[in-house]
């Protein structure tokens, strides 16, 4: 259900980029009730100057190691789930991919269940029983 | 009204990429009441490893030929229109661009009419009579 | 609060791309009550053929100088603020970055305050008093 875009400044190796994707996915699974296999991510590296960020907004110190995460998913998660996701993503990104917690910026965009097709021209969340969402 | 992002794994030729964009647009026109000329698409190819997908989620078989389509448009389409769009997009992508139906993943994000400016600093959907939306 | 994606056709120099980002940010600050330092932008240049646009939809003349701006931000701006933003963005892009007003296409996607984490695993808009949003 989540579609995740991750934007970075170029310069990391493939392993580090992969670890970033994995940390975000693991945080979604652990806190947002996302099935393990429900993983669709686009990770893009940008030249410095094409990913523009403020290094101090809201009192958080940011660096060129910034990780911009944008998650689109169906509405229904609680505020507490979202808070747990932010905290867990920052922790896992630090542990697993060496990202400074100040560099983890996340935004969520919500849609509804009818807004997804996972292949074969079907809207699976409307026609598959929930126990088969895996 | 729709703004469409299409993400692919690199390796297709220009003609195939163009055919993918055309198939998605045609499906929107045929099923979602989108005017012919209302076409704005960004199509991006990514190295393998930067577009991450699960090859089996919800029982659909996916390959590196995956086509991730994200459509942002004004709310107002019915559930039936969305279902028709998913089915038609998968069919046209198969016919016109050789995409496996299992590889067609679509998500929709809705906004409102006041959320669009199509140039000249104006919000055309608020100021132009509907019969001029073309 | 806003996360801004800007998509262009390749061929501009770095200074022009930077000026585009600055013009969009300034328009947000002047019209949409966005703090100066609240700036997070991803600017991507695409080969011709990968950014597809209609050159006449709604009677606006567009060229390969097209600037596609997509702004995600928390709901709460009025219609009038959005209208002022479109007009100001077009004016500033023309003055500061030599963009034709017809080439300025903008869409807005709204989320809520709990949908943002600006670092350190926190949801700052839920826990910081509003006078510290800067």
The upper half-sphere exposure of residue B108, i.e. CA atoms within 13 Å in the direction of its Cβ, equals 26
Evaluate whether B104 touches B69 at the Cβ level (below 8 Å): yes
Spans in chain A with pLDDT lower than 50 = none
Determine how β-strand A40-46 pairs with β-strand B51-53. antiparallel
pLDDT value, residue B25 = 98
Q: Which residue has the tokens 């996340």?
A: A106
Q: In this structure, what token pair is assigned to residue A80? A: 């507490």
C9-28 per-position pLDDT tens digit: 999 999 999 999 999 999 99
pTM of structure: 0.98
The upper half-sphere exposure of residue C68, i.e. CA atoms within 13 Å in the direction of its Cβ, equals 25
Q: In this structure, what token pair is assigned to residue C20? A: 């585009």
Which one of B7, B79, B109 has the shortest CB-CB distance to A111? B109
Which one of C42, C118, C123 has the shortest CB-CB distance to A50? C42
Chain B residues 42-101 with CB within 8 Å of chain C: 42-45, 72
pLDDT at C1 over 80: no
Spans in chain B with pLDDT lower than 70 = none
pLDDT at C36 over 80: yes
Active-site residue A129, yes or no? no
Evaluate whether B32 touches B2 at the Cβ level (below 8 Å): yes
Instruction: Give CA separation, B44 vs A1, A96, B18, C48, in Å.
Output: 21, 28, 11, 11
A73-94 per-position pLDDT tens digit: 999 999 999 999 999 999 999 9
pLDDT value, residue B1 = 76
Q: Kindly report the CATH number assigned to the domain that includes residue C36.
A: 3.30.429.10
- Flag if C3 and A68 touch (Cβ within 8 Å): yes
Number of domains in chain A: 1
pLDDT value, residue A82 = 98
Distance in Å, alpha carbon of C65 to nearest chain A alpha carbon = 17
Evaluate whether B32 touches B73 at the Cβ level (below 8 Å): yes
The residues of B carrying an active-site annotation are: 2
- Flag if C107 and B72 touch (Cβ within 8 Å): yes
Chain A residues 2-41 with CB within 8 Å of chain C: 7
ipTM, two decimals: 0.97
- Domain holding A58, by residue range, is 3-132
B133/B4 Cα distance (integer angstroms): 18
pLDDT value, residue A92 = 98
């Amino acid at each position: 259900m989540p579609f995740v875009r991750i934007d970075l400044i170029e310069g990391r190796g493939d392993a580090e980029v992969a670890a970033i994707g994995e940390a975000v996915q693991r945080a979604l699974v652990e806190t947002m009730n996302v099935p393990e296999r429900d993983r669709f991510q686009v990770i893009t590296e940008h030249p410095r100057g094409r990913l523009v960020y403020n290094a101090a907004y809201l009192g958080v110190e940011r660096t060129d190691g910034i990780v911009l995460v944008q998650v689109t998913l169906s509405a229904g998660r609680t505020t507490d789930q979202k808070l747990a996701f932010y905290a867990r993503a920052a922790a896992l990104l630090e542990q697993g991919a060496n990202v400074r917690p100040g560099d983890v910026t996340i935004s969520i965009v919500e849609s509804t269940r009818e807004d997804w097709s996972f292949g074969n021209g079907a809207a699976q969340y409307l026609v598959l029983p929930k126990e088969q969402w895996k």
